[in-house]
Chains A and B, each alone.
Chain A
Amino acid sequence: MSSDEDLLEALLAGEHRALARVISKIENRSPGYRDLVSELYAHTGEADVIGITGSPGAGKSTLVDKLAETYRDRGETVGVIAIDPSSPFTGGAVLGDRIRMASTVGDMDVFVRSMSARGTLGGLSTATADAVKAMDAFGKEKIIIETVGAGQNEIDIVRTADTVAVLVPPGSGDDIQTLKAGILEIADVFVVNKADRPGSDRTVQELRDMIQLGGGGIGGGGGHHSQEVIDAHDDWDGETDDEGETAGWTTPIVETVATKAEGVDDLISEFANHRTYLVDSGEHAEQVRGRYAEEIRTLLREDVHALLEDRLADRGGIDDLAESVRRGETDPYSIAGELLDPVEDCLDELETNGENG
């Protein structure tokens, strides 16, 4: 497995070690990983990609384990990408999602890979998207991305999925409010896990109210206002949905008990329904287009960022520049301008040359 071509060939031939190594290269951004990923694209597009997110302890890993088991029983191959946070101080991480993946042990056709946020802004979502490509090219039929729903970074990650399930544990009534502007908006399916616990009925009810107030989909800018409405009508029974029924996807709520695998079949059929909806409505094409647009932007941003880091180094490094700002000799805006002007001049020159020649 020395050269990248051999590695690609081995991956396409179904060697687990090759897939693992390709994902490492993606994570490490080893020299040549871009060419490798470019090659992968020709072999992708077959897999269903499902994102699972929710607060820590919501039961994501356990649910993913049961989903993987059920898919395997149906004869489908599964890839799992489990993402855990890394320390902002040391960069170290403890990736513990694997512990819960016990049902599919010894079955190499469930490929579980733990990843952590290593790099720069947007780096993890690029790495995740590329790792999904690798698993897709390898021939995995279902790919599950699992991540803690904590902020924008996670939302970007989960957007690499076709279908997003958000786990809401019972009794998180107050959490619902804080989460409202975040991960609840990206849900295609709500999962009330631990549905055997007290308070799950209420959580289901609150979600149902919210969905109906949002007019079918939640993403539609109802925002903060509708949250206040929910607060004001806590005991609302939510049967009045005259105006909520617009064409489109209405986010279903599935109750599960992941530890006992209850509700997993229902969840899988909702995933399938959503997939059908995406394809039939043409939304899938739009979604994929949007995703690629974002990937292109992220790559460009990273490249330009690296370019500027080099320029910074040429100018004596960021520390000296920051120090001169501290001493009151200059300001960040001027420095940014000085650094960028030659780049812009360069580009302008290129354009003029192009026109003349």
Chain B
Amino acid sequence: MSSEQEQESIRCLVAKVGLDGHDRGAHVIARAFRDAGFEVIYSGLHKAPEEIVQATVQEDVDVLGISILSGAHDTLVPKIMDGLEEYGAKEDTLVLAGGVIPDEDRAELEAQGVSAIFGPGTSIEETIEFVRENAPER
């Protein structure tokens, strides 16, 4: 029907998880995503994995970007992925990680279901392009 104009917009949750107070990067990403025309939900600092899961499920975001600079990604990311699985949200959410994540940990995170890892020095354009190309079709 011609009257049903679709108005899709890419929805992203930018999440800070755990005891990590460095949110400049998350702010920059949130702002850049906004300017790219995405709808960005920012979690705020010091969130528990369950809070991130709750927000991801309720907001039905296409993309979950997790920013971690504390080194606790090994424990926090699996908790988030398990939570997403529990609510049936794992397979159609594009999960990204950013921050300081050593090369040797990357394979493990990717095995957990993280689609891409953007370390220091990644250009904003590259990240936005990746999201545009890989945001799940629903």
- Give residues in A with beta carbon < 8 Å to B: 1, 15-17, 20-21, 23-24, 27-31, 33-34, 86-87, 90-96, 98-99, 102, 105-106, 108, 111-114, 116, 118-120, 123, 302-303, 306-307, 309-310
* Complex: chain B residue closest to A92, CB-CB: B34
A95 near B41 with CB under 8 A, answer: yes
Which residues of chain B have C-beta atoms less than 8 A from A111's C-beta? Answer: 58
* Chain B stretch 6-49: residues in CB contact (< 8 A) with chain A: 6-9, 11, 30-31, 33-44, 48
Of residues A20, A86, A118, A306, which shows the largest number of chain B Cβ atoms within 10 Å of its Cβ?
Answer: A20
A105 near B48 with CB under 8 A, answer: yes
B60 near A99 with CB under 8 A, answer: no
Question: Given the known A-B contacts A98-B41, A99-B44, are A91 and B9 also in contact in the complex, defined by CB atoms under 8 Å?
Answer: yes
29 A-B pairs with CB atoms under 8 Å apart are: A17-B87, A17-B88, A20-B59, A20-B60, A21-B60, A28-B8, A29-B5, A30-B6, A31-B4, A87-B35, A90-B35, A90-B37, A92-B33, A92-B39, A93-B40, A94-B30, A95-B39, A98-B59, A99-B42, A99-B43, A99-B44, A108-B54, A108-B57, A111-B58, A114-B41, A114-B59, A118-B7, A120-B5, A302-B3
Which residues of chain A have C-beta atoms less than 8 A from B37's C-beta? Answer: 87, 90-92
Which residues of chain A have C-beta atoms less than 8 A from B36's C-beta? Answer: 90, 92
Which residues of chain A have C-beta atoms less than 8 A from B55's C-beta? Answer: 98, 112
Cα-based distance from A16 to B58 in the complex (angstroms): 7
Cα-based distance from A17 to B54 in the complex (angstroms): 10
**Interface flag for B50 (CB, 8 Å):** yes
CB distance from A301 to the nearest CB of B (A): 11
Which residues of chain B have C-beta atoms less than 8 A from A98's C-beta? Answer: 41-44, 55, 59
B5 near A16 with CB under 8 A, answer: no
Which residues of chain A have C-beta atoms less than 8 A from B9's C-beta? Answer: 27-28, 91, 116, 118
A29 near B7 with CB under 8 A, answer: yes
Which residues of chain A have C-beta atoms less than 8 A from B50's C-beta? Answer: 105-106
Which residues of chain B have C-beta atoms less than 8 A from A307's C-beta? Answer: 2-3
A310: contacting residue among B2, B30, B35, B88, CB under 8 A: B2
Interface size class for chain B?
Answer: 35 or more
Cα-based distance from A24 to B11 in the complex (angstroms): 10
* Complex: chain B residue closest to A116, CB-CB: B39
Which residues of chain B have C-beta atoms less than 8 A from A303's C-beta? Answer: 3
**Interface flag for B82 (CB, 8 Å):** no
Which residues of chain A have C-beta atoms less than 8 A from B35's C-beta? Answer: 87, 90, 92
* Complex: chain A residue closest to B39, CB-CB: A93
Which residues of chain A have C-beta atoms less than 8 A from B44's C-beta? Answer: 98-99, 102
* Complex: chain A residue closest to B46, CB-CB: A102
Cα-based distance from A20 to B88 in the complex (angstroms): 12
Which residues of chain A have C-beta atoms less than 8 A from B88's C-beta? Answer: 1, 15, 17
* Chain B stretch 69-112: residues in CB contact (< 8 A) with chain A: 87-89
Which residues of chain B have C-beta atoms less than 8 A from A21's C-beta? Answer: 60
Which residues of chain A have C-beta atoms less than 8 A from B51's C-beta? Answer: 105-106
* Complex: chain B residue closest to A106, CB-CB: B50
A33 near B39 with CB under 8 A, answer: no
B60 near A28 with CB under 8 A, answer: no
B4 near A113 with CB under 8 A, answer: no
Which residues of chain B have C-beta atoms less than 8 A from A112's C-beta? Answer: 55, 58-59
Cα-based distance from A20 to B93 in the complex (angstroms): 13
